Amino acid sequence: MIVTEWETIMHYIKKFGWLCSNIMHWVFSFIGELFRGILSIFGIHPQPPNERHEDIQPEDITHAYQDAAAARSVTDNLQPSLDARLDAVYAYARAAAEDRGAIDLSALPEDEQNWLMALSDADLTRMAVSGRLGCITALVHKSVAQMTVKARTNRAVIEPEPIAPAVPKLDLLRDAYRSRRVGGHPHPSFKPAGLH
């Protein structure tokens, strides 16, 4: 019987210890978050935890370097092609109508050549005025309508309609007050004593 009482008492002591440790953990967490919030108001932020790196082998570094070099070579190969296409489109758009046949369009694929040669003189003028950025936009979208033109056309100035003079607020209030008066009294439901 004494053993079971001691076991029960020990059980409750363990529960009490667990409860106390949880309460202390919650209290210290709350105080820490409170101080962290106050310090963040003043611009003081805690240091982020140090991330542990995986074991990096020399082969991993070699692979990363090769991947970066391959990505760089792809963009380096793409850029001259794009620049050559843009130069051809811009030169074609800027050229006079009789000189356009002499422009070398070999940098462009056949569908882009056909699209460019099918444009009207007005569209080519818009492309020339819009500059290189407008030309590349038109080339990518295959539409001159997508392109924004740098130079603004002369627009007629529209005169604004005259605005009627504003009625002062005091006049509006005075008119509203006078319209509500009945028989000289400001309250509309008021009726003199002799008129019931």
> pLDDT digit of tens for each residue in the chain (196 aa)?
566 788 888 888 999 999 989 999 999 999 988 888 888 888 887 777 677 666 777 888 888 888 777 777 655 555 557 778 888 888 888 888 888 888 888 888 888 888 888 888 888 888 888 888 888 778 777 776 655 544 444 455 556 666 666 667 777 777 777 766 655 555 656 565 655 4
pLDDT at 23: 92
Q: 122 lies in a domain?
A: yes
Domain of 106, in residue numbers: 78-152
Question: CA 125, CA 52: separation in Å to the nearest integer?
Answer: 60
pLDDT at 24: 92
pTM greater than 0.75 (yes/no): no
Long-range contacts of 116-121 (CB under 8 A, 24+ apart): 116/89, 116/92, 119/144, 121/97
pLDDT at 131: 82
Domain endpoint, select from 134, 152, 170 = 152
pLDDT at 3: 66
Domain endpoint, select from 116, 136, 152 = 152
Q: 161 lies in a domain?
A: no
Q: 64 lies in a domain?
A: no
Q: 28 lies in a domain?
A: yes
| Domain count within the chain | 2
pLDDT at 27: 92
Same domain for 30 and 87? no
Q: 129 lies in a domain?
A: yes
Question: CA 29, CA 76: separation in Å to the nearest integer?
Answer: 53
pLDDT at 158: 57
Same domain for 90 and 29? no
Same domain for 88 and 146? yes
| DSSP for residue 101 | G
